[in-house]
A and B are shown apart, each in its own frame.
Chain A
Amino acid sequence: MDFLQLIISGLANGCVYGLIALGFVLIYKATEAVNFAQGDFMMLGAFVCIGFTNHEYMGLNFWLAVPLSILVMGALGYLFNWGILRHMFGQSQTSIVILTIAMGFIIRFFAGATWSHEPTSLETPFAGQEVRSGGLVLGIDEVLIVVVTAILTLVFFLFFSRTRIGLAMQAASQNQLAAYYMGIPVRRVHSLVWGLSGMVAAVAGILFASKGAIDPSTGLLGIKAFAAAAIGGFGSLPGALLGGLIIGLVEPLASRYGPPGVSQIAPYAILLLILIFRPGGIFSQTLSKKV
């Protein structure tokens, strides 16, 4: 039972990692840019929702605050691309990596200055409620995380494979110039993707903050999610989720059964091993360019 409980909480953690990774992959798939600030977007989303919901701030109804903060984060993502990243169009990937890292620092500072550096948790109507089945006691928040993640993944999978705009995003990702010639408004598509990934980040953040406390440096969690994305194979949506789950599961198990100190190292060690032995990730999609 103990083991099962560990697995479930690991799964819930893994889903949050997976959702952040989903945000990375969305952006990477469509714009070929890597957003190192995704973890901080998640943190910001959580704080926006806390700002709307918690009674010491605005004290809105939880069910009103959630869509509101998702919208706010979507708009922020859209504006971030429109105002800053769009001007980097056609420049080297290294500068984009550096730019997003710097943005992460700024977001962390902003969140710390606006809300607080203290760990805060979201006041949810279902806090502390439990689901009991058999000898198993599950927090409803954990169950909710798993369910929401599963639904989101399915929606995104259908979005990318079935809808017109999803296909346009894929085309823009494969070859920006060619997509532009085909009449796809590449820049707007990019902004939309950023907005979308901002929304996903908000969802991840809200789920995370309803499960436990969050503080501005939680954004660094994004690096773990990044490892998740790479383990699953960059550019693969199910891969991102799987990678998140692997990391989420490995962490509690390693801290329970492994020697001390291993649990912090384990996710990155897995990442390095994957990069060494299966460089493209589990769902490998890389193809080396031939001369």
Chain B
Amino acid sequence: MRFVFKTSYDADISLFKHRAQAVWYALLLLLVLATPLYFVAIGDAYLLGEITGMLILAIAGMALMLLTGHTGLPSLGHATFMAFGCYLNINLLGAGLPWLIAFPLSGLIAGALGTMIALPVLRLHGVYLALATLAMSILTSDFVVIAEPWTGGIAGAAVPDINIFGMEINRYSTPYKFYYLVLAVAILIVWFYRNLLRTPTGRSFTAIRDSEISARAMGINLTRTKATSFFLSATTAGLAGALFGHSAGYVTNETFDLVMSITLLLMIVIGGLGFIHGAFFGAIVVGIIPVAIANGRTFLSTTFDVNINVPGLESALFAFILVCFILFEPMGLYGRWLKIRTYFELFPFYRKDMFKRQKSYLKTDRVQ
């Protein structure tokens, strides 16, 4: 059991609770920095590409986590903001801007556009936001087709390579450089995110999530704070979309569809709503499941001569896992880990209902 004695008020918002935690995160950083070494040693960078893909998903997951996990606003349309980011990035690069300017700019413009779209709905109840973003997500593909001069429409658009001061980065020809680039973006965003949560703005997000009425009673401007959260979230999603474009190499009107938006939502629920770690855990699960299904299929067909080739099995399995998580572990994988850790930290004083959430009985906001 560890006792953390706080000797100043700043200790409450310090980045790490105690030194051991800082050491663990430093080790984790070393691990992710050293990962490519392994692939250099085996001389096959295919799996590194998959890991890079997971990191990009995790960035998109963090975007949605900020909005849904920390501000409590469900969004079913984050793939749309990714599409904004991706196509803006392509066009800005095509206009001759250097990547280092085009990339952040495409995120910021995506954020601004997203906020403009969502602003009217932000005043409403959460379900309406889910609905409006759902509609947006369905329309994305149509709009990509309509905006053909910029997006290439159904034929799709090729994403140019990244060029940083003369250094060419491409997913396939230089996978290691691409990995480090994505990692750098991910770490910067985590750092920003973590710091944001320690500021009054970040705390007002959480306040809104827990109770809009009490947040308002404490003098938080609901609409402005929600808009801020939405802007930051859409910006991050735009950045993730731009990176996703670089990773895919070629994007069409079907790349950023509703399934992608729902996958993002699924990711953060499985990972753990309301924890930055959750975005990463979720991305790992979402990245592993298709591989596991493919391997399982091969195993079944080679060993038992059973061929399972049912279309839609993958998304159904995703959905089933999601249902199980919501029913049995609403706090997600990270929540499960927290429980296990607390059990050992407090041993033998852990109580069963320590993480039990207070139930809130619904009252209508309709006039009857």
| Chain B associates with chain A | yes
Query: In the complex, A101→B68 CA distance in Å?
Result: 16
Bound: A114/B244 CA distance, A: 36
Contact B368 A268 (CB under 8 A): no
Smallest Cβ distance from B58 to chain A, in angstroms? 19
Cβ of B313 within 8 Å of any chain A Cβ, yes or no, is yes
Any A CB within 8 A of the CB of B292: no
Q: Tell me whether A134 is interfacial, beta carbon within 8 Å.
A: no
B128 to chain A: which residues have CB within 8 Å? 230, 275, 279
| Cβ-defined contact, B126 with A94, below 8 A | yes
In the complex, how many angstroms separate the beta carbon of A178 from the nearest chain B beta carbon?
Answer: 8
Residue B100 at the chain A interface, CB threshold 8 Å = no
Instruction: Say whether B366 contacts A98, CB under 8 Å.
Output: no
Q: Is the CB of B265 within 8 A of A98?
A: yes
Per DSSP, chain B at the interface is helix
Given A223-B134, A230-B128, A289-B212: A112 in contact with B362 (beta carbons within 8 A): no
Whether the Cβ atoms of B319 and A90 lie closer than 8 Å is no
Contact A92 B365 (CB under 8 A): no
The reply to whether A276 and B120 contact each other, CB–CB distance below 8 Å, is yes
Q: Which residue of A lies closest to B68 (CB)?
A: A94
Question: Interface digits, A72-98 against B, CB 8 Å rule (1 contact, 0 not)?
Answer: 000000000000100111111111011
The listed residue (A105, A226, A234, A235) touching B134 by CB distance below 8 A is A226
Q: For window 94-112 of chain A, which residues contact chain B by CB distance below 8 Å?
A: 94-95, 97-99, 101-106, 108-110, 112
Interchain CB contact under 8 A, B142 and A97: no
> Interface size (B, Cβ < 8 Å)?
58
B267 CB, nearest partner CB in chain A, Å = 11
Q: How far is the CA of A175 from the CA of B316 in the complex (A)?
A: 35
Determine whether A271 belongs to the interface, using a CB cutoff of 8 Å to chain B. yes
Closest to B322 in A: A102
A286 touches B125 (CB 8 A): yes
Q: How far is the CA of A265 from the CA of B144 in the complex (A)?
A: 12
B364 surroundings in chain A (CB, below 8 A): 32, 173-175, 235
Q: For chain B residues 131-166, which have a beta carbon within 8 Å of chain A?
A: 131-132, 134-136, 138-139, 142-143, 145-146
Is B367 part of the contact surface with A, judged by Cβ < 8 Å? yes
The secondary structure that dominates the A interface is helix
B312 touches A109 (CB 8 A): yes
Q: Are A275 and B121 in touch, CB under 8 angstroms?
A: yes
Interchain CB contact (< 8 A) of B361 among A176, A226, A276? A176
Of the listed stretches B26-34, B232-240, B323-331, chain A binds: B323-331
Task: With both chains docked as a complex, state the minimum distance between the C-beta of B18 and any C-beta of chain A, in angstroms.
Answer: 32
Q: Is the CB of A102 within 8 A of B362?
A: no
* Bound: A20/B94 CA distance, A: 46
Contacts of B360 in A (CB 8 A): 90-92
Given contacts A84-B323, A103-B323, A230-B128, contact A90 B359 (CB under 8 A): yes
A residues apposed to B, CB below 8 Å: 32, 34, 84, 87-95, 97-99, 101-106, 108-110, 112-113, 117, 170, 173-177, 216, 223, 226-227, 230, 234-235, 261, 264-265, 268-269, 271-272, 275-276, 279, 285-289, 291
Report which B residues bind A (CB closer than 8 A): 68, 72, 74, 76, 120-121, 123-128, 130-132, 134-136, 138-139, 142-143, 145-146, 212-213, 216-217, 262, 265-266, 269, 273, 310-313, 315-316, 318-320, 322-323, 326-327, 330, 357, 359-368
